[in-house]
Amino acid sequence: MQGPDLTSPPARPPRVGLLLCNLGSPDAPEPQAVRRYLAEFLADPRVVEIPPLLWWPILHGIILRVRPGKSAAKYQSIWMAEGSPLKVYTERQAKYLRGALGERGLAVNVEWAMRYGNPSIAEGLERLTSAGAEHVLVFNAYPQYCAATCASVMDAVTDWLRKRRAQPEIRVLQSYFDHPAYIQALVSSVRAHWQREGSTGQHLLMSFHGMPERTRQLGDPYHDQCQATARALAAALDLQDGAWSVGFQSRFGPAKWLEPSTEQRLLALGQARTATLDVICPGFASDCLETLEEIAMEGAETFHAAGGGTLRYIPALNDSGESQRLLATLAQQHLQGWPTSLPPRNHPA
């Protein structure tokens, strides 16, 4: 074993930083923590676009009294030993990304952050810049752009910038809904699932998180990007029309949401006596409450009760090898032109 090389100066810290951002989870699967999380999340005007004077009485008078208890019980059913799946996988993705970029010869400091809850986006930016980052890539883990997610991350980034004198240069990875490396990662994931299960299912349902229909009419590209991802995945898997479909899940409140809903699709596929239904949630970079509980547990029950056979949930890309390659490829492409070369070591003569 060699000891540390004390004759050469310490390596210069990376001048480039990457912040991997996702939505966020409560700190614990308990009503109190869920309430704190939902209060922050559902007060974001990018998420609920109802004038505060109308919305706040409903949020504080009804939703934050009723929902935390119910949601906490659901969180308990999916919680991992290390914590919330969304956070556990995001942290692992950041760790692998740090290693993978280093292996590709890129000196990049990587941190991860949650838009709601902890660690916050401000904390992540603070950590990167205080460690020397002069350039920061804000990497949205969301494959499809939506104002409720990506624009909201930018609101948090600009809130932080507003308070800074010396600002880093900022770049944003906004979406990758049709990137060939993303479609390829999904294809590999579906094929690996079919191999594990020993058969292709009768139908592949691609379920994306829902949004109010109104946001589509106002010009949010989210719906079209979800459809584009689904078409690209079906084509790459060589699926015939009728062998796949799209649904939008997690409806919230009384307004009209994007259609068809995942629930409608599960009922129709169940009533059609589909024996094996594969379900993938391509919009989630990591598994979370919305996939593990709402689809793999509740969705399976809905499908079965309607007359269907087995619902086989295909895990999100999470911390798989495919995910690691995908994230590193996307990051590398978006870091081009920035000073990522490893700092020279000035060996004493």
Residue 287: name its binding partner from ligand L6N33NVT, Fe ion, none (Cβ under 5 to 8 Å by kind). none
Helix axes 85-103, 321-334, angle to 10 degrees: 60
Dist. CA 234–CA 226, nearest whole Å? 12
Q: What angle do CA 4, 9, 10 make, to 5 degrees?
A: 70
CB of 29: closest distance to ligand L6N33NVT in angstroms? Answer: 9
CB of 63: closest distance to ligand L6N33NVT in angstroms? Answer: 8
Q: Is the sign of the CA dihedral 339, 340, 342, 343 positive or negative?
A: positive
Task: Please identify which residue in 90, 93, 109, 149 interacts with ligand L6N33NVT, judged by CB under 6 A.
Answer: 149
Stretch that binds ligand L6N33NVT, among 170-178, 233-241, 281-289, 325-333 (CB under 6 A): 281-289
Tokens of 63: 């939703």
Site string for ligand L6N33NVT, 158-187 (x = CB under 6 A): ------------------------------
Residue 104: name its binding partner from Fe ion, ligand L6N33NVT, none (Cβ under 5 to 8 Å by kind). none
Dist. CA 49–CA 42, nearest whole Å? 10
Q: Is 72 in the site for ligand L6N33NVT (CB under 6 A)?
A: no
Q: Is 148 in the site for ligand L6N33NVT (CB under 6 A)?
A: yes
Tokens of 27: 């700190």
Distances (CA, A) of 305 to 14, 117, 273, 292: 55, 36, 11, 19
Q: Which residues bind ligand L6N33NVT (CB under 6 A)?
A: 23, 25, 47-48, 67, 71, 84, 86, 142, 146, 148-149, 209, 211, 222, 250, 252, 283-284, 288-290
